[in-house]
Structure 1
Amino acid sequence: MTNLATLLESAATNYPDRTAIVAGVRRWSYRQLDEEANRVANLLTAHGIGRDDKVAVTAPNIPEFTAIYFGILKVGGVVVPLNILFKGREYAYHLREADVRVFFAFESGGEVPMGAEARAGFEQVEGCRHFFSVSPGRTDDVPDDDFHVAVGSLPRTFDSAAMADDDSAVILFTSGTTGQPKGAELRHDSLRLNALAARDLYNADPDRPDTYLCVLPLFHSFGQTAIQNAAAGFGGTVVLMPRFEPRAALQLLVDEGVTVFGGVPTMYWALLAELEAHNDASVDVEAIAGRLRVAISGGAALPGQIHRAFKEKIGVTIIEGYGLSETSPGAAFSPWGASPRIGSIGKPIPGVEMKLVNPDWTDVAEGPEAIGEIAIRGYNVMKGYYKRPAETAEVLKDGWFRTGDLGRKDSDGYYYIVDRLKDMVIRGGFNVYPREIEEVLITHPAVSLVAVVGVPHPSHGEEIKAVVVKNPGDQTSEEELIVWSKGQLAAYKYPRIVEFRDSLPTTSTGKILKREI
């Protein structure tokens, strides 16, 4: 039996009294978490939900999310995690697209209620029959479909469904940066093995359980696999933050003795900015450094400047990983214990292959300067996009999945992301990779954060534009930054346009949204 829920069940059997989840004042043991998941499974069974039925959940990082996630898996259902920031129309689209039958959605009362959009989306979808309002601690205007009331009297035991390796466990929707979002259909075995890969990737050990700070949203693949599921797989503790705030995150690192932190580059940038703003005086940096043993970055390329600054401030080397929703998500990782190669995403993880391909799927010629689209093959690759055979055929061939990321490989087999294929700028016939320019600009003393994009140009086709968040108090002008960059980059690469902004738009997972710049 390879049901992904066995991760939780094994931890509850072997370490029943260990703390599984910390959320403010709430602390759930593995026994309690498993019992709560069993009550969810009994609730679903009572409503006729079983093998291969799709069940959606949208919630911030709260213990109920994890209980619902594993409860769905226990009945053999397929989990469909949805972004807590969606509007009603977006919820309705995803519920229809995934053929969802039951929807668990976070709602809150008070002066600023949350969750109305999820309910509005549910009401637009005839095939979605049941809605449960997840409202922890709510005492005012408790709805008739309240989740806690529904599970309150249900049994705390359940015999989980035995699942085949190839059975679907989760449908993760892509971010929809190009066209409508598509649901990547992921297997039980793929997700289970990807979580357990932590043993090799950063020396996870159930006899020395880690404490993970979860600032990544659990509805996203990174937070689910690398934090929630990996912790369950090794009997660790997950400290949940419903919303990332750098000051509060730093304090939790101290208070909870966090040993594993996972985040996207903008989160590391925010943590460093917070330390700089307070000159480290109000944060026990030594306590953080004394406990933190693993810092993981994924979701986007990590600038070398942030790499170096975090090592200098905290004394911990950030380990870069790489993956996508379509790959469960882990595909590559910097080897544990090896000296870091700044800018590299490491090597393929055990059981996974990677190569560089041309647009026609042929292999790119070997060479340290050769650039091609990264393709991945292994246990971690999705079954396909749910109900999208044409889109699946575009990216899957002979077991290989093409990622849309341009990369190169050095002579030792380490991969480097050059840029997203769709982000590449063609200026006057030359290929320009925005990430390379961003790496240069962020070394300027004025630049705190930067995103480089292409904008239309009448003669060159596209022009290079840099949108910059400056360090507080800096007086550098746009023109001065352009002149400086001209001295650092080839004539066809340096940005002719620089725009200063107070902030950059980001997704709920912290990725910079270049399409909105």
Structure 2
Amino acid sequence: MLNLSSLLEHSAREHPGRTALVFGDTRLTYAELLKRSQDIAVTLRHHGVGRGDKVALSCPNVPDFPAAYFAILQVGAVVVPLNVLLRPQEVAYHLTDSRAKAFLCFEGTPQLPLAEVGRAGFDQAADCAHFLLLGRIGEEETDSVVPPEGVATAAEDTAVILYTSGTTGRPKGAELTHRSMVLNAMVADRLFTAADDEVMLASLPLFHAFGQSAVMNMGLLRGATLVLQSRFDAHEALRLMHREGVTFFAGVPTMYWALLGALHPHGGRTPPLRTAVSGGAALPVEVLQKFGKAFGVDVQEGYGLSETSPVACFNPPGLPPRPGSIGRPVWGVQMKLIDDSWQTVPDEARGEIAIRGHNMMKGYYRRPHDTASVMRDGWFRTGDIARRDGDGYYYVVDRVKDLIIRGGFNVYPREIEEVLITHPAVSMAAVVGVPHATHGEDVKAFVIPVPGTDLSEAELIAWCRERMAAYKYPRSVEFRDSLPLTSTGKILKRELSAENHGDTAPA
């Protein structure tokens, strides 16, 4: 058997009194974290949740996230992490698509009313049986018990379903096994850190593949101390780094850019960082060099996707970083560059990255056609275009189709277009990414209004904001009488993108 929950259980057994989590004034030892997790597992068992059941989890970076995450695994169920910025109809879609039996939801704050949004989404998902508020768990008495070793699961059983849209369509759930998630945490541990006294700042959202595998799971496997930041703020991050003696930081490029900007008000004092890891998007060379000079630590870049658990490629530790490179395939993973016919292309030629290894998803949950379109003989085609140098280092140079990466989050134009087109005053819509000074890319919509209607940019943006997560909605809208089309009637998004290449939005 193999269960991802063994990462926490092992560290709690080996280091029961070591601090596992820090959040504000709250400090939990490994023994205390395991006990909190087991209490949630008891409640799940009481509600009939068991092996193979899907349990959705909506929670920011607070101690309840890892406690609930490993509780779900302990009872043999499958974790379905939800982005905390989803709106009710998006929550309902994820609950329904994943066939979730239960929904664990953090109560939230006035600024982030998760319980209110979660309940509204749950009420629209007829087949999800249980809505459980994390803050209330433990108030009810049950006679259920959870065996200390948890429920036996096979290595190839699904442990986590991470939702991703690829480049088109509605979100799809990538099924990741206990084996792929455990091995990915071990690979990350081998790459990122070698110290037993590691103090890691968890600013990346734990519902996201990067923060989940490369920070939370790897850190708890290591027996490190995780300092949780519920929402990234550069000044607060620096304060936490100094207060807690943070030695490890992982982030997306915009976080590194913000940390550089926040350093001066702190008197230029730098925290005791030993390791800095970047992923999610290409790190500008200028930022990499400035951060290394200011903080005295090289930023190591890597690459991965939700479908690859996620770490697939990384700049080898102990060697100077190669600016612009995502590194080489990690242990147990193969990569190659292919053309449209799956044929391998030579070094220095551009091709689509294909990956095969222990980190690979089983497939997209209940979507065999979508799975078959991206997988062949164990190889997964990523949709990212890269080149490889003679030393085997990869460099991402472009993206297939229209994927927008805003601040490290994937934004999928078709999903936004489908929302836009439901507005009664919108006749046609196209969404593209435009350059942004701090987020890399931002979302812009081109809209043809219904003749005779009166629709403003502010009104349409506000309308979208009510119906989708905050990182998705368009920040700008341009109204047009027509859009460029191919001879077959498809919108030429490349032309729209080219027209806006010089438009860099303000910070």
State the 1:43 CA deviation.
1.2
Counting only pairs closer than 5 Å after superposition, residues 290-305 of structure 1 correspond to structure 2 as 291-305=272-286
CA distance in 1 between partners of 2:165 and 2:37 (Å): 28
Counting only pairs closer than 5 Å after superposition, residues 54-93 of structure 1 correspond to structure 2 as 54-93=54-93
Instruction: Confirm or deny that 1:219 pairs with 2:207.
Output: yes
CA distance in 1 between partners of 2:169 and 2:101 (Å): 25
Counting only pairs closer than 5 Å after superposition, residues 194-343 of structure 1 correspond to structure 2 as 194-205=184-195, 208-276=196-264, 278=265, 280-281=266-267, 284-285=269-270, 288=271, 291-343=272-324
Name the residue aligned to 1:353: 334
Output the amino acid matched with 2:157. Answer: D
> Which string of whole-angstrom CA distances, capped at 9 and with x for unpartnered residues, describes residues 274-316 of structure 1?
225x3x52x522xx1xx21110001111111110110111111
State the 1:55 CA deviation.
0.5
Query: Is contact 1:35-1:157 (8 Å) kept?
Result: no
CA distance in 2 between partners of 1:111 and 1:343 (Å): 37
Name the residue aligned to 2:347: 367
Output the amino acid matched with 1:293. Answer: R
Output the amino acid matched with 1:502. Answer: P
Return 5+ residue gaps in structure 1 as ranges: 136-145, 426-440, 467-492, 504-517
Query: Is contact 2:43-2:138 (8 Å) kept?
Result: no
Output the amino acid matched with 1:306. Answer: V
Instruction: Confirm or deny that 1:390 pairs with 2:380.
Output: no
Counting only pairs closer than 5 Å after superposition, residues 398-437 of structure 1 correspond to structure 2 as 398-423=377-402
Output the amino acid matched with 1:322. Answer: Y
CA distance in 1 between partners of 2:157 and 2:183 (Å): 14
- Compared with structure 1, are the counterparts of its residues 339 and 32 closer, same or farther at alpha carbon in structure 2 (3 Å cutoff)? same
State the 1:200 CA deviation.
2.6
- Compared with structure 1, are the counterparts of its residues 452 and 22 closer, same or farther at alpha carbon in structure 2 (3 Å cutoff)? closer
CA distance in 2 between partners of 1:323 and 1:256 (Å): 29
TM-score (norm 2): 0.81
Output the amino acid matched with 1:160. Answer: G
State the 1:3 CA deviation.
0.5
- Compared with structure 1, are the counterparts of its residues 46 and 153 closer, same or farther at alpha carbon in structure 2 (3 Å cutoff)? closer
Secondary structure in 1 matching 2:302: strand
Query: Is contact 2:173-2:364 (8 Å) kept?
Result: yes
Q: Which moved more, 1:227-236 or 1:155-164?
A: 155-164
> Which string of whole-angstrom CA distances, capped at 9 and with x for unpartnered residues, describes residues 247-292 of structure 1?
000111111111110000111111112225x3x52x522xx1xx21
Instruction: Confirm or deny that 1:376 pairs with 2:366.
Output: no
Query: Is contact 2:43-2:142 (8 Å) kept?
Result: no
Name the residue aligned to 1:105: 105
State the 1:175 CA deviation.
4.8
Secondary structure in 2 matching 1:51: coil
CA distance in 1 between partners of 2:350 and 2:91 (Å): 38
> Which string of whole-angstrom CA distances, capped at 9 and with x for unpartnered residues, describes residues 348-376 of structure 1?
00000000011111111x132x0000000
Return 5+ residue gaps in structure 2 as ranges: 405-434, 447-482
Name the residue aligned to 2:469: none
Output the amino acid matched with 1:4. Answer: L
CA distance in 2 between partners of 1:386 and 1:220 (Å): 17
> Which string of whole-angstrom CA distances, capped at 9 and with x for unpartnered residues, describes residues 92-139 of structure 1?
10001001001011124669844211101111112111111124xxxx
Output the amino acid matched with 2:210. Answer: F
CA distance in 1 between partners of 2:65 and 2:4 (Å): 15
CA distance in 1 between partners of 2:93 and 2:27 (Å): 35
Query: Is contact 2:39-2:138 (8 Å) kept?
Result: no
Query: Is contact 2:76-2:150 (8 Å) kept?
Result: yes
Secondary structure in 1 matching 2:20: strand
- Compared with structure 1, are the counterparts of its residues 129 and 306 closer, same or farther at alpha carbon in structure 2 (3 Å cutoff)? same
CA distance in 2 between partners of 1:464 and 1:336 (Å): 41
Output the amino acid matched with 1:394. Answer: S
Query: Is contact 2:46-2:144 (8 Å) kept?
Result: no
Output the amino acid matched with 1:296. Answer: V
- Compared with structure 1, are the counterparts of its residues 72 and 377 closer, same or farther at alpha carbon in structure 2 (3 Å cutoff)? same
- Compared with structure 1, are the counterparts of its residues 399 and 97 closer, same or farther at alpha carbon in structure 2 (3 Å cutoff)? same
Query: Is contact 1:198-1:204 (8 Å) kept?
Result: no
Name the residue aligned to 1:36: 36
Query: Is contact 1:53-1:101 (8 Å) kept?
Result: yes
Output the amino acid matched with 1:60. Answer: P
Secondary structure in 1 matching 2:326: strand
State the 1:152 CA deviation.
9.4
Query: Is contact 1:190-1:381 (8 Å) kept?
Result: yes
Secondary structure in 2 matching 1:228: helix
- Compared with structure 1, are the counterparts of its residues 457 and 424 closer, same or farther at alpha carbon in structure 2 (3 Å cutoff)? farther
Instruction: Confirm or deny that 1:501 pairs with 2:505.
Output: yes
Output the amino acid matched with 1:149. Answer: E
- Compared with structure 1, are the counterparts of its residues 500 and 212 closer, same or farther at alpha carbon in structure 2 (3 Å cutoff)? same
> Which string of whole-angstrom CA distances, capped at 9 and with x for unpartnered residues, describes residues 74-96 of structure 1?
11100000011111100110001
CA distance in 2 between partners of 1:316 and 1:330 (Å): 21
Q: Which moved more, 1:266-275 or 1:353-362?
A: 266-275
Query: Is contact 1:464-1:497 (8 Å) kept?
Result: no
Secondary structure in 2 matching 1:404: strand
Output the amino acid matched with 1:385. Answer: Y
Secondary structure in 2 matching 1:262: strand
State the 1:377 CA deviation.
0.1
State the 1:159 CA deviation.
3.2
Name the residue aligned to 2:133: 133
Secondary structure in 1 matching 2:101: strand
CA distance in 1 between partners of 2:165 and 2:85 (Å): 13
Query: Is contact 2:105-2:131 (8 Å) kept?
Result: yes
> Which string of whole-angstrom CA distances, capped at 9 and with x for unpartnered residues, describes residues 451-499 of structure 1?
4999976899666788xxxxxxxxxxxxxxxxxxxxxxxxxx9x78533
CA distance in 1 between partners of 2:120 and 2:30 (Å): 34
CA distance in 2 between partners of 1:81 and 1:316 (Å): 32
Secondary structure in 2 matching 1:81: strand
Counting only pairs closer than 5 Å after superposition, residues 423-462 of structure 1 correspond to structure 2 as 423=402, 451=441
Name the residue aligned to 1:149: 139
State the 1:500 CA deviation.
4.5
Equivalences, count: 436
Query: Is contact 2:105-2:114 (8 Å) kept?
Result: no
Name the residue aligned to 1:480: none
Query: Is contact 1:200-1:336 (8 Å) kept?
Result: no
- Compared with structure 1, are the counterparts of its residues 127 and 358 closer, same or farther at alpha carbon in structure 2 (3 Å cutoff)? same
